[in-house]
Amino acid sequence: MRVYNFSSGPSVLPLKVLEKAAAAMTDANNTGQSVMEMSHRSGDFKPIIEGAEKSLREAMKIPDNYRVLFLQGGASLQFSMVPLNIAAVETGAPRKKITFIDTGVWAQKAAEEAAKFADVTVAASSKDKNYSYIPQNVKASSGDAYFHITLNNTIVGTKWPYLPETGTVPLVSDISSCILSEPLDVSKFGILYAGAQKNLGPAGTTVVIVRDDLIGRAPSWTPALLRYDIHAGEGSMYNTPPCWGIYIIGLVLDWVKEQGGVEALGVINRQKAGMLYSYLESSKNFVSPVEKTSRSLMNITFTSREKDPERKKAIETAFPKEAAAAGLVNLAGHRLVGGMRASIYNAMPVEGIKALIAFMEKFESKL
């Protein structure tokens, strides 16, 4: 029996994709081989990687002056690769500057890593209110190597409700937990990156979308495998790419197209998130800690309204356990923030949201 899986990542994938992959496990596209067994340089794999890129370009309307790279190392490696490629300088040259906005753990990790290669300024932070909102009116300093935001903050459940104007400073964003969740104007960004394990496919593949003019700026001491120009020049095949992950991403993108594309998914995602948020607003026990204007469509965090700390803790421990026993799994909040979190990525059906709300109603009626 399939459960409703609310994991923040790796997370639910469309059943149809899993079934297609299962059917092709030992013989993909009549090649007599599994994709896992194919030479990445073979004519069998070529259409798989080219197809995945073409589908991603179509789904996200990626302009021609951007390159799509399928890499490894997760979003976390991009915390290092982005500054290495567009902010680091030759030995002895004056360090460049980067501006970050601190919206929680992933933004901080990106900033910490970047500080090894350039001078980092944190221009705004929502730490004062436990990261429950996205700072307004943020400003880029002209001359900066880039301006970094985490578009959707997986742990606290916030999402940027607007894109900051950065002028000529390239806007760079981590879109790990919101890629393909709704339309996004790629042309507003210099670099976008995402670990695949939420809306795209299995863990192990990272997608980087980088504007042409930002490729080829890495200092000479940069290791080859960390250079965008090398990966772009070799069509993501400087070394063996994460073949299986790229194959599944291609299947997920076929599914996205069948759903009506990112526009249609955006509408459904608003409905799904809207159902949960409106339930949380009316609930006697549960509450969303996030400011209304900064709510994520993908990661919906909630806590118990209970005032007594002991009882609150007991409720928040019992809820995910009881939910799991009822087939609704992975609802505990991130270990750093506690509480509860329902990650409702593209592949979570509306029925899953209805089942969760029904379970929450039943749970709170017993309190």
Report the interhelical angle of 350-365 vs 261-282 (nearest 10°): 10
The answer to whether residue 72 forms part of the interface with ligand PMP (CB under 6 A) is no
The answer to whether residue 102 forms part of the interface with ligand PMP (CB under 6 A) is no
The answer to whether residue 176 forms part of the interface with ligand PMP (CB under 6 A) is yes
Contact at 8 Å (CB) between 242 and 197? Answer: no
Q: Binder to ligand PMP among 5, 17, 55, 74 (CB under 6 A)? A: 74
Q: Does the annotation mark 64 as catalytic?
A: no
Report the interhelical angle of 261-282 vs 46-60 (nearest 10°): 60
Residue 110's Cβ-count burial label (10 Å; 0-12, 13-18, 19+) is buried
Q: Does the annotation mark 44 as catalytic?
A: no
The answer to whether residue 343 forms part of the interface with ligand PMP (CB under 6 A) is no
Q: Binder to ligand PMP among 38, 75, 218, 251 (CB under 6 A)? A: 75
Question: Distance between CA 227 and CA 239 in Å, rounded?
Answer: 12
The answer to whether residue 289 forms part of the interface with ligand PMP (CB under 6 A) is no
Sites for ligand PMP among residues 185-244 (CB under 6 A): 195
Pick the closer one to ligand PMP by CB: 160 or 247: 160
Pick the closer one to ligand PMP by CB: 74 or 201: 74
Contact at 8 Å (CB) between 284 and 265? Answer: no
Among residues 238, 175, 245, 182, the alpha carbon closest in space to that of 210 is found at 175
Q: Tell me the pairing of strands 146-150 and 171-174.
A: parallel
Tokens of 231: 């990966």
The answer to whether residue 301 forms part of the interface with ligand PMP (CB under 6 A) is no
Q: Where are the alpha helices (DSSP H) in the chain?
A: 15-23, 46-60, 74-86, 105-114, 228-233, 243-258, 261-282, 309-325, 350-365
CB-side neighbour CA atoms (13 Å) of 243: 18
CB of 235 to ligand PMP, least distance (A): 22
Among the residue ranges 24-32, 72-80, 141-149, 238-246, the one whose residues contact ligand PMP (CB under 6 A)? 72-80
Among the residue ranges 70-78, 242-250, 318-326, 341-349, the one whose residues contact ligand PMP (CB under 6 A)? 70-78
Which residue in this structure is represented by tokens 């919206």? 103
Sites for ligand PMP among residues 2-31 (CB under 6 A): 8-9
CB of 149 to ligand PMP, least distance (A): 11
CB of 157 to ligand PMP, least distance (A): 11
The answer to whether residue 83 forms part of the interface with ligand PMP (CB under 6 A) is no
Q: Does the annotation mark 198 as catalytic?
A: yes
Q: State the residues that interact with ligand PMP by CB under 6 A.
A: 8-9, 74-76, 106, 150, 154, 174, 176-177, 195
Q: Which residues are catalytic?
A: 106, 174, 198
